[in-house]
Amino acid sequence: MSAEEKNIAYFSAGMGWNLCCKQATYLLLKQEEQQKLSFKEEYALKFHMSICKLCKAFKKQSAIMNETIKQSLQQVVLMPESQKDNLKLLINRHLDEK
């Protein structure tokens, strides 16, 4: 079994009521995307989040990351004028060919 397969097996099987942080963060990311967790997973995660400070911090930071990335997508950038002129020439040439 490759390392990758082992990891997948590790996550899909053997999640009990007792989660470790590794599994909890994995489930958190799944939950973030509105994936449906099984009932057992959901409550195990809730329980883990109520005791684990670090995982709480991870959840917060993950949300902050998502938001800042989203904001950075709205940044205004202008295309250089030289490139615009090049494109205009290109399009005109294409139109003339037809």
Partner 1 sequence: MFLKKTLVSVVNTLMFLKNTLVSIANTLMFFKKTLVSSKNERVCRPQKINITFLKYNYLYNMPQTTNTPVLDPQKWIDSYADYLYAYAYNRVNDEESAKDLVQETFLSALKARDGFKGEASEKTWLVAILKRKIIDLYRKNAAHPQQSFEESEQYKVAYSHYFTESGFIKGEWDKKAGPKPWNVPDNNGIEQKEFKHILAGCLGKLPKMWASVFSLKYLEEEESESICKELEISSSNYWVIIHRAKLQMRECLEKNWIKA
Q: How long is the chain? A: 98
Question: Of residues 15, 25, 45, 48, which one binds partner 1 by CB under 8 A?
Answer: 25
38 binds partner 1 (CB under 8 A): no
Please report, as residue ranges, which positions from 54 to 93 form the binding site for partner 1 (by CB under 8 A): 54-55, 57-58, 60-62, 64-66, 68-79, 83-84, 87-88, 90-92
User: Angle at Cα 50 formed by Cα 47 and Cα 62, nearest 5°?
Assistant: 105
- Please give the Cα distance from 97 to 81 (Å, whole number): 25
CB of 49 to partner 1, least distance (A): 13
15, burial (CB in 10 Å: exposed 0-12, middle 13-18, buried 19+)? buried
Gyration radius of the chain over CA positions: 24
Do 48 and 15 touch, CB atoms closer than 8 A? no
29 binds partner 1 (CB under 8 A): yes
Residues that bind partner 1 (CB under 8 A): 2-4, 7-8, 11-12, 17, 20-23, 25-26, 29-30, 33, 35, 39, 43, 47, 54-55, 57-58, 60-62, 64-66, 68-79, 83-84, 87-88, 90-92, 94-95
